[in-house]
Amino acid sequence: MMAENRVLDDELVALLRQAQRVVALTGAGISAESGVPTFRDAQQGLWAEYDPMELATPEGFARNPLRVWEWYAMRRAQVAKVQPNAGHYALAQWAARRPGLTVVTQNVDGLHQRAGSDRVIELHGNITRVRCAAGHGPVAEWQEKAGEVPRCCQCDAYLRPDVVWFGELLPAAALASAEQAVAAADLVLSIGTSSLVQPAASLPYLALGAGVPVVEINPEQTPLSADARFSLRGKAGELLPALVACIGD
């Protein structure tokens, strides 16, 4: 069953109140109201201006490491300037009332943690971290020099952002934890994601296959909308606080 803009629908309120093991799968849309650009928004999404094949693939990095490094440095600086919004804070409040809530995020901006969520699974890494491109692990400090990509002090390979690019495997432990959380969930929320990028986009379908209800929050329709029990059209920063208010203590 699908209902739009019926936040106070009785069945929805009952679902929210009863759910103890909630998984909130989030995407770029939840950070949009903080000023972090989404990827696929037709006007302002990153992919409207930048080519993902050149900036978010290992092949693009191999072709032009400096272009990729500088693009991520620009985005890292952007993320450092923004603040969590009402949507991030609402999920942290929800977890305070329902300690079984797990956030599974595709976002690399760390805003859930900054809003106070402590059970956060990062599927696509974190833009604030940097690692050796040849596999020598994370790097705590590096020197930025204009026109140069910093190098690993152990092997001299380039450093790269600790994010997951197209064609790369997701961190195995994070994906396994996300799948386990969904398998144990009694409610899955899909918030601010276009539901296009795999394997994250398949997580709500794991829940649906097990008969677990999925509630979507997105101003736009997505491929998930028709299958979600409730598909709520609106912004995460407006709808999530309203949903948390329904739960009670």
Residues that bind ligand BJW (CB under 6 A): 27-30, 32-33, 38-41, 45, 56, 106, 108, 124, 163-169, 192-194, 196-199, 217-220, 222, 235-237
The nearest distance, CB 71 to ligand BJW, in angstroms, is: 8
Residue 93 phi, psi (nearest 5): -65, -40
Residue showing the smallest CB distance to ligand BJW in the complex: 29
Q: Return the number of the residue (59 or 148) whose C-beta is nearest ligand BJW.
A: 59
Active site residue 124: yes
Q: Is the dihedral of CA 224, 227, 233, 238 positive or negative?
A: negative
Q: Return the number of the residue (100 or 241) whose C-beta is nearest ligand BJW.
A: 241
Residue 232 phi, psi (nearest 5): -95, 120
Q: Return the number of the residue (93 or 126) whose C-beta is nearest ligand BJW.
A: 126
The nearest distance, CB 194 to ligand BJW, in angstroms, is: 3
Please list the residues that pair with 214 across neighbouring strands.
188
The nearest distance, CB 249 to ligand BJW, in angstroms, is: 26
Q: Return the number of the residue (3 or 53) whose C-beta is nearest ligand BJW.
A: 53
The nearest distance, CB 238 to ligand BJW, in angstroms, is: 8
Strand order in the sheet with 120-122: 120-122, 102-105, 22-26, 187-191, 214-217, 230-232
Amino acid at the residue 245: A
What is the set of active-site residues?
124
